[in-house]
Structures are given as structure tokens and as C-alpha cells.
Amino acid sequence: MLTFSSLLRALPGNVAQGMIWGIMALGLYVTYKILNFSDLTVDGSFSTGAAVGVMLIINGVPALLAVIIAFLVGCIAGLITGLLHTVLKIAPILSGILTQIALYSINLHILGNKANQAVNVNEYHLLLSLRDTNKSILVALLFAIALMLILYWFFGTELGSAIRATGSNEQMAKAQGININLMKVTALALSNGIVALGGALLAQYQGFADVSVGRGAIVIGLAAIIIGTVVVGANKKEHNFLLLLGSAVIGGVIYYIFIGIVLWLKLPTNDMKLFTAIIVAIFLSLPHLKIKKKEKKDATN
């Protein structure tokens, strides 16, 4: 059963799922890379997006509109983390954790006080589904490109530039008369909106929303960003911003291709998380190992 062709046949599904997580990683990119803010809200807001999306669809709202509303609800989640941090002066990580914890209960309410809600692909018109992986890749790709273009445009505007300035040097930005609190709140809202959008897409793809679907989302998102950075070689500042954003999506795809390989190799299933961690650790250490190798080469010359 361990044939190369079965790995290839599984590839479209792995790519589709990776691309959806890549979209989620785009959201994380806004806070993690641009704003320089470790936001743990995403584990909650990803589930929120899934829950909102599914509940709207089963109540007759068109799937595309449901995804957009999920985006807006995600923005509110980010807004709350932003307010906890800027108004109540709670540390970034704690603000995110607090919102994440609160969202667990809120997500249960959204799901009608159930832990799990199905959205059956046979009964509803969904944007994408595991049933049709090729179409899912196309739809996810369209969403990713649209979001990348919007982010590219947005971070070129005055507001977007002010957010970038806040992220790279808070004191300096303040001195320039930028309202840094407003910038942080805006970036957090935008970020969690995109994360929730990713959640709404994933819920349709897998056919259900589960209250624990976002557990560990931050790890997958960060892994996607870091893998993307390593593969595209986007460490250097001179790279095009669009390419940097694209690297996060590519990172998500690569991450899931590797998970597919781990599954395909039929390694002991209880060790799956261990192998996943090893893959991420390898990618995390690659840039460092490369530098070391170069230093060695330079030294011998």
C-alpha cells in the first residue's frame, strides 16, 4: 500500500488544506511579522470563524456571504484583544490568552451550545469541500491572492504605513505623532478577521465546525510563516512584500505536504505530533545552519 502513486493521489487534498491554513497564516503574519505582537487570540478566533460560517450556512445564508460575516466577527475578537492591551494595559500574550479563553464559551454559544455542528456537503452549496479537492485548491488560491493583493494595497496606504511604523519602532512612531494604540487595535482586528475567514473556509472544507478546531492554530500558522520564509529565502528585507505574503501561504502548503508524507509513511500514529514537531524544528534551524555553513566556508577560504 506504500506506493508513490498513493502519495501523489493524496497530494491535492494536502495542498488544499495547507492553502487554507496558509490563508490563516496571512492573518497571523499581520500581527507576528508586521506589528511584532505575539497574538494568541487566533486559536479562539479561528474556531469563531468556523462556527459563524457553519451556523450561517445551515440557516440559509450563501456561503460567500457567510465567510465575509465570519471575517467581520473575527475582527471583533481582535478588537477585544486590542482593547484589553491598549486600554487596560494587559500584556500582549495575556490579552490574547484572555480573549481566546472567553471565545471558547462564546463559540459554544454560536454553535447552539453544542461542541460540534455539521455542514453536510450533500445538502448545502459550499465554496469548497474535501469531496472536490481540485476545486478547493482553486477557491483557496483565489482567496489567498485576493487577500494578498488587499494586504499589499492596505500596507501601502497612510494607515497601513503607520501600522508598519508602529511594528518596527513603537517609540519612533509615537514621536511622529502616530496613535500607536489605534494602530495596534486596527492590526489585531484585521489579523483576526483574516484568521476567522480561514476558519470559515476550513469548516466548509472538512464539513463541520468543532469548538476545538482552532486548538494549536497558532503553531500551524507560525510554522507556515517560518517554513515559507526559509523556502522562499525571504529573510532579506529587500524582498517584495507580495512575495513575503505569498511565502506564508506556500509555507502552509509545504507544512501539510509533510504531514501527508508522515501519514503516508505509516509511522506509529501516536508519534504523529512528535514528527510534526521535528519537521518544524528542522525548518526553524535551517537558516541558522546555513549561516554556520557559510561562516565555515568563509573561514577556510
Partner 1 sequence: MKKLFLILLACLMLAACGSKNEDGEKTYNVGVLQLVQHAALDSATQGFKDALKDKLGDRVVFDEQNASGDPTNCSIISNQFVANNVDLIFANATPALQAAATATGDIPIVATSVTSFAAALGINDWNGTTGINVTGTSDLAVGALKKQAEQIVELFPEAKKVAIIFSSAEANSVAQAEEIEVYLEELGLQSARYTFSDSNDIAQVAFNACEWADVVFAPTDNAIASYASADQFSKPVIAGEEGICKRIGVATVSLSYYQIGYKAGEMAYDILENGKDPATLPVLEENEMSKMYNAALCEKFNVEVPADYIEVK
Residues forming contacts to partner 1 in the complex (CB under 8 A) are 1-7, 9-11, 13-14, 17, 58, 114, 116-123, 129-131, 133, 202, 205-208, 210, 212-213, 215-216, 231, 256, 259-260, 263-266, 269-270, 272-273, 286
Pick the closer one to partner 1 by CB: 28 or 259.
Answer: 259
Q: Which amino acid is at 267?
A: L
Interstrand relation of 208-210 and 116-118 (parallel, antiparallel or unpaired): antiparallel
Dist. CA 43–CA 212, nearest whole Å:
9
Residue 265 beta carbon to partner 1: minimum distance, rounded to whole angstroms = 7
Residue 19 beta carbon to partner 1: minimum distance, rounded to whole angstroms = 13
Residue 70 beta carbon to partner 1: minimum distance, rounded to whole angstroms = 16
Residue 295 beta carbon to partner 1: minimum distance, rounded to whole angstroms = 18
Across the chain, the runs of DSSP E, i.e. the strands, are: 116-118, 208-210
Please report the DSSP string for 40-74 in residue order: TTHHHHHHHHHHHHHHHHHTT--HHHHHHHHHHHH
Dist. CA 116–CA 227, nearest whole Å:
31
Residue 205 beta carbon to partner 1: minimum distance, rounded to whole angstroms = 7
Dist. CA 86–CA 186, nearest whole Å:
11
Work out the end-to-end distance of the chain between its first and last CA atoms, rounded to an integer number of angstroms: 49
Closest CA to 185 of 243, 99, 68: 99
Mapped onto helix, strand or coil, the DSSP state of residue 259 is helix
Residue 61 beta carbon to partner 1: minimum distance, rounded to whole angstroms = 15
Residue 266 beta carbon to partner 1: minimum distance, rounded to whole angstroms = 7
Residue 69 · residue 56 · CB < 8 Å: yes
Q: What is the CA radius of gyration of the chain?
A: 20
Mapped onto helix, strand or coil, the DSSP state of residue 130 is coil
Pick the closer one to partner 1 by CB: 273 or 295.
Answer: 273
Pick the closer one to partner 1 by CB: 269 or 301.
Answer: 269
Pick the closer one to partner 1 by CB: 179 or 206.
Answer: 206
Q: What does the DSSP 8-state code read for residue 239? A: S
Residue 12 beta carbon to partner 1: minimum distance, rounded to whole angstroms = 8
Dist. CA 7–CA 276, nearest whole Å:
17
Pick the closer one to partner 1 by CB: 34 or 220.
Answer: 220
Residue 29 · residue 182 · CB < 8 Å: no
